[in-house]
Amino acid sequence: MATIYLNELEIHTSGTLPAIGSKASNFTLVAEDLSKKTLADFIGSKLILNIFPSIDTGTCATSVRSFNKAASSLKNTKVLCISRDLPFAQGRFCGAEGIENVVMLSDFDSGDFGKSYGLNIIDGPLQGLNSRSIVVVDENGIVIYTEQIPNTPDEPNYEAALNALK
């Protein structure tokens, strides 16, 4: 379990992020077209997993915009933006914002991704959502960087995540 904050309120996650050097856990997530995507669909590419509570918050939206901008210049890298939002809401946001360089994926149907990656919030007003986190995975499926944002309203360290790909 990890302790994070929602401003001054202490909240907790179901576990801890995967260890650097470990194999990334497989996942099944729902894409905007309602198809299922697994980790195997992305093997061979480096991955930035941009995980957040909901696209309908300012910081979450900013992280998607920031990674969308960065993704256009990344080689052999895909940015997966993962939340528990419905795929319809994710698609609506991307359409309105002109987001085209990231892959939006939803953990709405089971929450298994959040549980498997140890970032499901287990108490407080965001219970059931995923904590704001970054996991970077190399092309062989090995975790090379993680960051769990200690205070949920704060942005991730974009530079550190992008530098992990070098």
**Which residues participate in catalysis according to the annotation?**
60
- The whole-angstrom separation of Cα 119 and Cα 82 is 12
Report residue 25 CA to chain centroid gap: 13
* AA identity, residue 97: E
Q: What share of the chain is helix, strand, coil (3-state, %, to 5)?
A: 25, 30, 45
Do 109 and 125 meet the contact criterion of CB atoms below 8 Å apart?
Answer: no
- The whole-angstrom separation of Cα 122 and Cα 105 is 21
